[in-house]
C-alpha cells in the first residue's frame, strides 16, 4: 500500500511538470479581470456601490436561474443572512451536517440558534435524508405546526444541506422530509456554483441559499459570497440587512434595525463579472480532470475517485479520493502526497468534535466519523484538465 500511495503521488505530480509544487486549487484569470478592475480604479468606484455589483448580481441570477442574487463579502456572511431572512430565531435548532466547513455551524450560532448535527450519505457526502427522517421520528414531534425537539424542548426550525465538494444532495427526498416536519430549507451552496440537481441549479431549492467566491472556489472575487432566493421580498430584505439596514435617503442616516456591513465592494464584483464570463469553460476543464484521475488510479487497490451522484451534474470543485476503511493511515497518505509537493488535505474535522460545538445536539454520526479517516482531496485546479480531449 505504501508503494502504491507513493506511485500515485508521483503520477499526479507528473500531470503538470512545469510546476515544482501543485496546489490544491488556484484561480485562473484569462479574461477581462484586469480591464474591469482598472475601470473601478480609474472611475473611483471601488467600494460597496458601483455598476459591477449590480451587474454581478444580475449575471449570478441568470446563470443559476434564481430570481435574485445579493452579493456580500463572503460565503459565511451569505449563509448568516440567508438564515436571518427566513426567520431563524435565537434558541432555534438548525439541522446541519457535521461533515462540513466550520462556517456552516458558525452562521447558525451568529443567529443565536443551536446547530443540531446529522449524518451524511456515502452517495453524496451530504445530508442523508432517509437517516434524517428516521432520526426525527425518534426525537421530534409536530406541535401546533412546529417541529419540536422532545429532548430539549426547542423548535427545530430549519435544515441546511451542504453540497459537499460541489456534489448536490438528494434534494427531492430531503424536500419531502422538510414538508413532513415543517422545516425550512436553506442551501449551503458555497461549493456548488455550476452544479445541477436533475437539471436545476443548486440554490434554487432552498427558501434562501448561500454561495462563496473565496480564492479557491470555481470563480473568485478575492473574497465574497452571495445570497440566492426566488422570493423578491426576501431578496430586498437581504439587501437591506447587508447594507447596515439603512433606509434610502439622499443624506440622512436612518437605520430601522440592527444591520450588517456585508455588501460586496465594486472592485471585487468586477473580478467576479469577468470570471462568470467563462465559468462554463472552467467547469468543463474540472469535469475533464475527472477522466484524467480515473486513468491515474486505474488498477490501484483500496482507493477510488468519488463521482457525482446519479441524479446530479457536479462542478467537481474538489477532486476526492476515498480510501477503503482500514486499508491505510490517512495521515500517511497526506504526508506522502505533500512530501512529493502534491498538495492534499483531509476533509474537515467533523463539527461535533470541535470544542465550540461539543455540547450541541447530535444524531448518530457513524458515517461521518468513518469518512473523516477515508477522504483525501487532491489538486483540482482547472488547468490540470487543459490537455484532456473533450
Q: Are 202 and 319 in contact (CB under 8 A)?
A: no
Identify which of 232, 224, 214 has the alpha carbon closest to the alpha carbon of residue 266.
224
Residue 380's region, left for phi above 0, alpha for psi from -120 to 50, else beta, is alpha
Residue with cell 502526497: 337
3-state SS string for 105-174: HHHHHHCCCEEEEECECCCCCCECHHHHHHHHHHHEEEECCEEEECCCCCEEEEECCECHHHCCCCHHHH
- What span, in angstroms and rounded, lies between the C-alpha atoms of 203 and 127? 15
**Residue reference for cell 486549487:** 25
Q: Which residues pair with 141 in a beta bridge?
A: 148
| Alpha-carbon span 116 to 92, nearest angstrom | 10
Check 13, 207, 217, 239 and give the catalytic one.
Answer: 217
The C-alpha R_g of the chain, in whole angstroms, comes to 21
378 and 368 in contact (C-beta within 8 Å)? Answer: no
C-alpha 312 chain-centroid distance: 15
| Rounded Cα gap, residues 93 and 86, in angstroms | 14
Stretch (H or E) spanning 5? helix 2-14
Angstrom CA distances, 246 to 237, 249, 263, 385, stand at 11, 9, 12, 46
Q: Nine-digit cell at 359?
A: 455540547
Whether residue 373 contacts residue 324, with contact meaning beta carbons closer than 8 Å, is answered with no
Residue 1 has, within 13 A of its CA and on its CB side, a CA count of 12
Active site residue 217: yes
**Residue 193 burial by Cβ neighbours in a 10 Å radius (0-12, 13-18, 19+):** buried
Catalytic positions, please?
217
Amino acid at each position: 500500500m505504501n508503494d502504491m500511495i507513493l506511485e500515485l503521488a508521483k503520477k499526479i505530480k507528473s500531470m503538470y511538470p512545469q510546476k515544482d509544487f501543485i496546489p490544491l486549487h488556484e484561480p485562473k484569470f484569462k479574461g477581462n479581470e484586469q480591464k474591469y478592475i482598472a475601470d473601478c480604479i480609474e472611475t473611483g468606484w471601488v467600494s460597496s456601490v458601483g455598476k459591477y455589483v449590480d451587474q454581478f448580481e444580475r449575471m449570478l441570477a441568470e446563470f443559476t436561474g434564481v430570481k435574485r442574487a445579493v452579493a456580500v463579502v463572503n460565503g459565511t456572511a451569505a449563509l448568516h443572512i440567508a438564515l436571518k431572512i427566513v426567520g431563524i430565531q435565537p434558541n432555534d435548532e438548525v439541522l446541519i451536517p457535521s461533515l462540513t466547513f466550520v462556517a456552516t455551524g458558525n452562521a447558525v450560532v451568529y443567529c443565536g440558534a443551536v446547530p443540531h448535527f446529522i449524518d451524511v450519505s456515502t452517495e453524496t457526502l451530504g445530508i442523508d435524508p432517509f437517516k434524517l427522517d428516521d432520526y426525527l421520528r425518534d426525537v421530534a414531534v409536530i406541535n401546533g405546526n412546529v417541529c419540536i425537539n422532545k429532548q430539549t424542548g426547542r423548535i427545530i426550525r430549519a435544515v441546511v444541506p451542504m453540497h459537499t465538494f460541489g456534489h448536490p444532495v438528494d434534494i427531492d427526498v430531503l424536500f419531502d422530509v422538510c414538508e413532513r416536519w415543517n422545516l425550512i430549507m436553506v442551501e449551503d451552496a458555497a461549493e456548488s456554483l455550476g452544479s445541477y440537481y436533475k437539471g436545476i441549479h443548486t440554490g434554487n431549492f432552498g427558501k434562501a441559499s448561500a454561495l462563496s467566491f473565496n480564492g479557491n472556489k470555481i470563480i473568485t472575487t478575492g473574497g465574497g459570497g452571495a445570497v440566492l432566493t426566488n422570493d423578491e421580498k426576501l431578496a430586498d430584505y437581504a439587501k437591506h440587512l447587508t447594507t447596515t439596514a439603512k433606509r434610502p435617503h439622499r443624506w440622512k442616516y436612518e437605520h430601522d434595525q440592527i444591520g450588517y456591513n456585508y455588501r460586496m465592494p465594486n472592485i471585487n464584483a468586477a473580478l467576479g463579472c469577468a470570471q462568470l464570463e467563462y465559468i462554463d469553460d472552467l467547469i468543463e476543464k474540472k469535469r475533464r480532470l475527472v477522466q484524467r484521475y480515473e486513468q491515474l488510479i486505474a488498477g490501484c487497490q483500496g482507493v477510488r475517485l468519488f463521482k457525482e451522484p446519479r441524479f446530479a451534474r457536479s462542478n467537481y470543485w474538489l477532486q476526492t479520493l476515498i480510501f477503503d476503511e482500514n486499508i491505510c493511515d490517512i495521515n500517511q497518505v497526506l504526508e506522502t502526497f505533500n512530501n512529493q509537493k502534491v498538495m492534499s488535505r483531509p476533509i474537515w474535522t467533523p463539527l461535533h468534535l470541535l470544542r465550540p460545538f461539543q455540547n450541541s445536539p447530535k444524531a448518530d454520526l457513524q458515517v461521518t466519523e468513518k469518512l473523516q479517516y477515508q477522504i483525501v482531496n487532491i489538486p483540482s485546479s482547472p488547468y490540470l484538465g487543459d490537455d484532456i480531449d473533450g
